[in-house]
Amino acid sequence: MTEIAISAARSQLGDLVRRAAHSRETIALTDHGHVAALLVSPQVIEDFEDALALAEYERRKAEGTLEAGTSHEEVGRMLGMR
């Protein structure tokens, strides 16, 4: 993770955003030496959300608390594919 002071980031914001978006580099914006915000690629957030949803599913499955889902057949019918 790259850290840069907010004051220095002002003049480089466009470049920093592109670095975060295209290289999946996380850039920490610091204020008086403390991380105040992060620039993160949307894909990284989507990956975290997917991993969290999967972990939640696995936890509920292990606990036996999964609710009834929709079968692939039913989803296909709902989408007009079957």
What are the pLDDT tens digits along the chain (82 aa)?
999 999 999 999 999 999 999 998 999 999 999 999 999 999 999 999 999 999 998 998 899 888 878 888 888 888 998 7
Long-range CB contact pairs, 6-14, < 8 A, 24+: 6/30, 6/31, 6/36
The pTM score is 0.66
pLDDT value, residue 67? 80
pLDDT value, residue 56? 92
